[in-house]
Amino acid sequence: MSIMANKKAQYGAPTGSYGESLIPLVLILILGIFIAGKLGYIQLNSLPVVGSLFPAPYINVIVIGHASPQLEYYLKSESYRFAGINYMGYVPQEAVVPGTLNKFDIIILQGSTICDRTARRTITDRVKAGGKLMVIGDACTRVNDDPNALGWDIGIGLLGDVMPVTYGGVLMHEATGQSRIYAEGKFRIIAPDHPMFNGIKNSQFSGTLTNVYPTANANVLAYIETYMGKPTSPATFGILESQGFLSGKTIYFAFDPGTQTGREMLQNTLLYLKGAKG
């Protein structure tokens, strides 16, 4: 009996030692995952219970021109910081030269109609290299060396290459009519399943409304249903995104999203842009 007991003990010993040897490996793996999460190499902030221990990955956002007070208020808010949106302030278009935009995930154009050709080329190259762009209203529709020219597609191979819209009211890059008006209105979402509109319904806006037309690579997400209390006719486009690029992405707003009721849509847009492809 004692011989059999000894044999059983001998057979059982490897199993116990094997299990014990795994414990340090598991602890090392857990520690590695924890460190990677803290450093932002992997995203763990959405996990239940332990997610609060890990920061959301930062999305570095820069404005070229000047953000509207409402837009800047949202970008600086605590809820945006908690979501990982890191507002880096604004720079004048004169300061935009090759290399200055490489560290920014999302570029917002607002508040300055003039962008010189160097700034336009730099922005375009960043988007083509995988950067994300948001254009609001008539930002960057003029160049400083040709005051009569209008539009994002001035020149060859410039900003128009990455835009989902063309500027309205122009012919051969010269003004033929009114391209922007002040309006209070309402937009209608026609892509309700898009991540930008998660929890968002058709809503109101106010401020300047810019007249644009979709390009061949555009995906229309919302149009202007009414402004100044009247239905729009012909169709007026409100929110569009580019499609078909390899990695970069542009979203266009014909109105200031800072004036839209609620801050969720702008936050959704920035979070979507960070991971959007083509």
pLDDT of 59-86, one tens digit each? 999 999 999 999 999 999 999 999 999 9
What pLDDT does residue 148 have? 82
Evaluate if residue 216 carries a pLDDT over 50. yes
- The reply to whether the predicted model has a pTM over 0.75 is yes
pLDDT by residue (tens digit) across 45-61? 555 555 555 555 689 99
Choose the final residue of a domain: 10, 26, 53: 53
Statement to judge: residues 44 and 98 lie in one domain: no
Statement to judge: residues 163 and 255 lie in one domain: yes
Statement to judge: residues 19 and 147 lie in one domain: no
What pLDDT does residue 17 have? 61
Evaluate if residue 7 carries a pLDDT over 50. no
Please tell me the distance from the alpha carbon of residue 102 to that of residue 99, in angstroms, as a whole number: 6
Statement to judge: residues 153 and 197 lie in one domain: yes
CATH of the domain at 77: 3.40.50.880
Lowest mean pLDDT among 21-25, 52-56, 115-119, 178-182: 52-56
pLDDT by residue (tens digit) across 241-276? 999 866 799 999 999 999 886 789 999 999 999 887
Write out the H or E segment, with its range, that includes residue 36.
helix 2-39
What pLDDT does residue 54 have? 54
Q: What is the mean pLDDT of residues 148-161?
A: 85
Written as one string, the DSSP assignment of 193-205 is TSGGGTT--SEEE
Statement to judge: residues 37 and 73 lie in one domain: no
Statement to judge: residues 48 and 63 lie in one domain: no
First vs last C-alpha separation in the chain: 74
**Domains of the chain: total:** 2
Q: What is the mean pLDDT of residues 137-150?
A: 90
Choose the final residue of a domain: 53, 71, 92: 53
What pLDDT does residue 9 have? 47
**Which residue reads 């010269």 in tokens?**
174
Choose the final residue of a domain: 29, 53, 77: 53
Statement to judge: residues 108 and 197 lie in one domain: yes
Domain that holds residue 271: 59-275
Statement to judge: residues 68 and 48 lie in one domain: no
Statement to judge: residues 228 and 144 lie in one domain: yes
Q: How many CB atoms lie within 10 A of CB 206?
A: 16
Lowest mean pLDDT among 92-96, 214-218, 241-245: 241-245
What pLDDT does residue 259 have? 87
Ramachandran angles phi, psi of 271, nearest 5°: -65, -40
**Mean of per-residue pLDDT scores for the chain:** 82
Q: What is the mean pLDDT of residues 179-201?
A: 87
Statement to judge: residues 73 and 49 lie in one domain: no
Statement to judge: residues 63 and 104 lie in one domain: yes
Statement to judge: residues 65 and 132 lie in one domain: yes
